[in-house]
Structure 1
Amino acid sequence: MTPLPPAVEQIVNAVYPVPRQLLADQLAGVTRPLFFAFNAFELAFLLWFFYSGLSARLRDALEKKIKNPFAQGASFIVLVFIGLSVVMSPLSFYASFVLSHEFGLSAETVARWLRDWALGIALSTAIVSLVGALFLRAIDRFRAWPLIAATGGAVLILFGSAIYPLFIAPLFNTFTPLPPSPLTRSILDLAAQQGIKASVVYEYDMSTQTREANAYVAGLGRTERIAVGDTLLRGMKPDEVVFVMAHEIGHYKLGHLWLGAFEAWCGLLVAIAFVATVGTHLVTRSPDRARSLADPAALPLVAALLIIFDLVTMPVANALSRNIEHAADVFAATHTHLGPAGVRAQARLASMDLSPLHPSRLVVWYFYTHPPTDERIMDAARRAGLAQ
């Protein structure tokens, strides 16, 4: 917990009232256990599916109908992934719809939620089935498959980042150019100073899904796009919006996409080494359930091992992410010189998203991909000359 000086606390409380701060703490008290419950249910389903023999029986059934190994793997993944998504749908609905409405974070309709959920499942199924089938073929054909899989994963991250603004984001939201205004000009001028060749700032209808705020600079080269959620534009003052956009532009200027891809590559290497070692051992002990890691029947076990790896290593990944986000915060303060706007922006973001003001160190260590709100506020306050 980082204490706030009285002058800074006064600014924060005006933007993020104490009753709302208490509401954020209540929400966190629900979402933290829910995170572990969600992962526990996923693990239980995947391990049950593998060790019950259902995975092997599904593989056998597909082998009788489909002769191509790639198509067998892809079909297996489609069926298991959709099955898992359906099993998890009640918990997903509670976490992303019911809870958001209970805490006033959303006015989304059930129909809109179902549409986005189904669209997300369809898109994820297509990607996961293709990538998973390629993963199986790599294991079967190449001794250096862990390196190939990790490199392919990093390339996929970059490819996804490149196509996201033009082909994926428009599936879920409507994007319209912001009309000319002093705010639009300020954002474009700041972007141009940092080498972003954009002539348009896009607003998207985030309010159809949530009352939370967001903005981003995404894409590579000709696919670069600056986008601001309508909730952020309505909920923040212009100088606060500029500060938030400066943070996002900072990610671009500081090469965080490339750094993130490299960190992901390193993480994937370790994760795949873990899966190769532990997975091979477990499959060897259960030859009736899977012939090898290249067997589609082993995929539920592989997915379970990846979830376990992610849960164990999440503090490391999040610490790296917090460093990146802190660098973007510093960039925003250094390149805007907006005084207390940075403090107000951080506090208002927390208020709109119901992020706790003073989370515990343990919670930050395990869960937080961004620096905690009190630290971000104090960093902005120091750079604005409001604190030492």
Structure 2
Amino acid sequence: MTHHIVVIGAGYSGVIAANLTAKLTDARITLVNESDRFAERVRLHQLAAGQVLKDLPLADLLTDPRIELVVGRVTGIDTGARTVRLGRAGRDLGYDTLVYALGSRADLESVPGVARHAFSVAVPEQAARLRDHLAGRAAGGVLAVVGGGLTGIEAAAELAEAYPALKVRLVTDGEAGEGLSEHARRHLRATFRRLGVETRPGARVSEVRADGLLLDGGEHLAADTVVWAAGFTVPGLAREAGISVDAHGRMIVDGTLRSVSHPEILAVGDAAALRTPDGRELRMACATGIPSGQQAARAIAARLSGREPRPLRFRYFNQCISLGREDGIVQFVHTDDTPRRAAITGRAAARYKEAIVKGTIYGLRHPSIPGYL
């Protein structure tokens, strides 16, 4: 009987895992996703700023007719029966091997008021809701972006450029762009000054209200709109199914990305607790998710042919940050993701990142390309 591989989640890691597994094996493959469209998550700040993104049907990204696309929401995993439960589709889907690629989402629950009063750019629906909200406020107002990581930086710059009448504030627990070199941070500060983005470092938000932010210590920062980019969380399906997860709910895997508690399950991308052989944790990013999807496919192919797969070998190369459409930073990094002195800034960096993002879609269709991100 043909081995059946089910991939749940069709983000960057899930799509490439499905395509490469089809290329390397004769297995039957089913890809399950809530939408029939691929979400370019690295562009969602552009969607929030009112730009029209390219429509990417998943069917056009899948390269082998043996891959069945099932549109539906996974509501549970029965590890004993080896099935995944599909809510709207109304059926259970059996598997021999499961690839868990459900990704991450904005953490809207850890701080009071976020879910009720804040927007995010974590999924297309949330980014579109922010876009529609801002379309009626282009004449002015105050917009606060919370979070000093790459998502917060990109959102603040993109929205400030798109809506120059808005007063944009970037509110961060530490310093914006802490992982950048001094050269790159200087460029970031200069760009924020040019765009009129005010930064508020060292500010921990304790509550989001309809009229702005309440900080630890009781200070109130007024804002008409709050964009939450201060952290991500993962779905709870693995924990609920009794699969071993870490404190954040990410599946604990070995070096070949196989669950340490359920060897018939592999986890990739943001939903996996990915580590290098020396124990270093890998960050949530498509730059991590895509190689992990490739690794999972190669591990599955090796085991189906009776071989022991090699463990994940991974290194970071750069971080690409857009600062509006004509500016950016490409921060080159050491293998452990710490910054090198070298960085590209300005228009050249914007073009560099655009080429990388476009190349990502090409790479999903050509999954054998090693380390293209």
Structure exhibiting the larger radius of gyration computed from Cα positions = 1
Q: Give the number of the structure whose residues are more often strand, by fraction.
A: 2
Q: Give the number of the structure whose residues are more often helix, by fraction.
A: 1
**Greater RCO, 1 or 2 (C-alpha within 8 Å, sep 6+):** 1
Q: Same fold (TM over 0.5)?
A: no
TM-score under structure 2 length normalisation: 0.28
